[in-house]
């Protein structure tokens, strides 16, 4: 069973579809990040660190998938320019939200990193899958030694806190270096996951065969990463980070493949519906749960706190969907409004009235089985990766 939820369009034109498995994968990643935020926040364990790593990697991969779906189908040049302009607006607004959340000091906010990733992904949207996979492979090989070498330079500034609006003024150069190389979530490393997601987004994600291939391919990549660890190879820092990144990418691909398979089972699809709907509004739910954590309520009762966050998020989903009659959360809706206005401005009067205009996020001119719709604001949420144990953070400590 594949869920197909219609999206609204301008002038009643072609509708779009959502791919349930993609939303499910994003919802699972959101739960993983919430759990990593709550459990062992002061002294992160290997379990919470692994959960946080998997969560942010899955989000980056799914972000690439969703961006590919947004530009799916045959479009005129102006339409593609309009979609790209909409993505740029999404990136700017996601950065604004991320900088605002960074001032809370409660968690390592990944939204600024994802905002930059969105901008960097814009020129990659038109590339063929084989080119995207090659770029991802090059980034996986190049990023670890570059980041390690940069961190080895004592003159390079080290990020201490999350980027904020004040950082833009007080230390703009340090902010740029931190976002791309030395931060908690270096863009140079995570861009490989975006490229892999862009390539996966070109596949027929409603196909059971494709889902099986993603699952098996992801598991094989994880096994390869584990095999590398057992080989008598030099365990330099850059080499260990490379193995970690490959392992994380394989785990994220396996999660996406498994999610795409599960939604074909009616019983499982119904049981996992709350998680799937959470995946349609991650920006809202992530931002809300970070704000809830700020006062420190129940911080000594992590199980109760986590269950309360999950229950509160699910309750909000039901109430919001009933009142607003839409799947997207309020932050996704606000970001989408700005994106639609920019799209209409790029398309112009004739484009906005012609058969090629679409107001819904990521809808295609002729909806097909392989295409879905999803605003850029729903493909990203912040990550709760604890600072001390992350492989990239370990580089900061060295």
* Span of 300-309, 329-338, 344-353 with lowest mean pLDDT: 344-353
Q: What are phi and psi of 164, to 5 degrees?
A: -130, 180
> Rounded CA gap, 342 and 351, in Å?
12
Judged against a pLDDT cut of 80, whether residue 56 lies above it is answered with yes
227 Cβ contact partners less than 8 Å away, ≥ 6 residues apart: none
pLDDT in tens, 4-40: 333 332 222 223 447 899 999 999 999 988 887 787 6
pLDDT value for 48: 64
DSSP code of residue 390: -
Mean of pLDDT values over 215-232: 85
Judged against a pLDDT cut of 70, whether residue 163 lies above it is answered with yes
Return the structure tokens found at 89: 């607006």
Return the structure tokens found at 148: 């390690």
CA diameter of the chain: 64
Q: Name the residue with higher pLDDT: 283 or 160.
A: 283
* Span of 132-141, 190-199, 242-251, 350-359 with lowest mean pLDDT: 350-359
Do residues 98 and 109 lie in contact, with contact meaning Cβ atoms separated by under 8 Å?
yes
**Residue 347 pLDDT class (50, 70, 90 cuts):** confident
Mean of pLDDT values over 234-245: 76
Evaluated on CA atoms 8, 9, 12, 13, the torsion sign reads negative
Evaluated on CA atoms 374, 375, 379, 383, the torsion sign reads negative
Mean of pLDDT values over 147-170: 79
Judged against a pLDDT cut of 80, whether residue 313 lies above it is answered with yes
**Residue 365 pLDDT class (50, 70, 90 cuts):** very low
> Rounded CA gap, 119 and 127, in Å?
15
> Rounded CA gap, 336 and 328, in Å?
9
Return the structure tokens found at 152: 């080895």
Do residues 179 and 112 lie in contact, with contact meaning Cβ atoms separated by under 8 Å?
yes
> Rounded CA gap, 391 and 245, in Å?
9
Judged against a pLDDT cut of 90, whether residue 192 lies above it is answered with yes
> Rounded CA gap, 182 and 162, in Å?
12
pLDDT value for 367: 38
Give the start-to-end residue ranges of the domains of the chain.
10-397
> Rounded CA gap, 282 and 60, in Å?
13
Q: Which residues of 205-243 are buried (b: 16+ CB within 10 A; e: fewer)?
A: bbeeebbeebbeebbebbeebeeeeeeeeeeebbebbbb
Mean of pLDDT values over 354-363: 37
Judged against a pLDDT cut of 90, whether residue 303 lies above it is answered with no
Mean pLDDT score of the chain: 79
pLDDT value for 233: 64
Do residues 91 and 288 lie in contact, with contact meaning Cβ atoms separated by under 8 Å?
no
Mean of pLDDT values over 267-293: 90
DSSP helix/strand/coil, 13: coil
Rounded percentage of the chain residues whose pLDDT exceeds 70: 77
Do residues 19 and 205 lie in contact, with contact meaning Cβ atoms separated by under 8 Å?
yes
> Rounded CA gap, 199 and 202, in Å?
6
pLDDT value for 121: 94
205 Cβ contact partners less than 8 Å away, ≥ 6 residues apart: 19, 21, 22, 65, 211, 260, 370, 372
pLDDT value for 377: 44
Judged against a pLDDT cut of 70, whether residue 314 lies above it is answered with yes
pLDDT value for 12: 26
* Span of 122-131, 239-248, 378-387 with lowest mean pLDDT: 378-387
């Amino acid at each position: 069973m594949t869920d197909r939820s219609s999206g609204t369009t301008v002038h009643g034109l072609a509708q779009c579809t959502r791919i349930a498995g993609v939303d499910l994968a994003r919802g699972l990643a959101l739960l993983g990040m919430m759990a990593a935020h709550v459990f062992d926040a002061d002294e992160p364990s290997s379990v919470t660190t692994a959960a946080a790593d998997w969560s942010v990697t899955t989000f980056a991969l799914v972000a690439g998938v969703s961006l590919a779906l947004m530009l799916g189908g045959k479009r005129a040049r102006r339409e593609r320019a309009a979609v790209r302009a909409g993505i740029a607006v999404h990136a700017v607004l996601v950065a604004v939200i991320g900088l605002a959340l960074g001032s809370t000091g409660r968690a390592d906010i990944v939204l600024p990193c994802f905002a930059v990733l969105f901008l960097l992904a814009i020129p990659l949207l038109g590339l063929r899958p084989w080119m995207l996979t090659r770029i991802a492979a090059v980034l996986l090989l190049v990023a670890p030694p570059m980041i390690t070498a940069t961190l080895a330079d004592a003159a390079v500034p080290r990020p201490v806190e999350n980027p904020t609006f004040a950082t833009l003024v007080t230390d703009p150069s340090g902010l740029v270096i931190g976002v791309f190389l030395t931060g908690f979530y270096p863009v140079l490393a995570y861009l490989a996951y975006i490229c892999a997601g862009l390539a996966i987004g070109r596949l027929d994600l409603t196909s059971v065969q494709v889902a099986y291939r993603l699952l098996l391919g992801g598991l094989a990549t994880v096994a390869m990463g584990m095999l590398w660890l057992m080989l008598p190879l030099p365990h330099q820092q850059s080499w260990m980070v490379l193995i970690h990144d490959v392992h994380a990418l394989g785990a994220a691909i396996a999660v996406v493949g498994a999610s795409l398979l599960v939604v074909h089972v009616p019983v499982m699809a119904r049981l996992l519906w709350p998680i799937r709907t959470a995946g349609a509004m991650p920006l809202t739910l992530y931002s809300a749960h970070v704000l809830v954590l700020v006062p420190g309520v129940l911080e000594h009762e992590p199980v109760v706190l986590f269950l309360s966050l999950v229950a509160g998020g699910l309750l909000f989903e039901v109430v919001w969907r009933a009142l607003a009659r839409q799947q997207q959360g309020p932050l996704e809706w606000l970001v989408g409004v700005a994106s639609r206005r920019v799209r209409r401005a790029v398309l112009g009067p004739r484009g906005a009235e012609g058969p090629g205009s679409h107001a819904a996020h990521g809808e295609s001119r002729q909806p097909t089985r392989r295409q879905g719709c999803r605003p850029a604001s729903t493909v990203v949420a912040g990550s709760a990766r604890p600072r001390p144990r992350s492989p990239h953070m370990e580089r900061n400590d060295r």
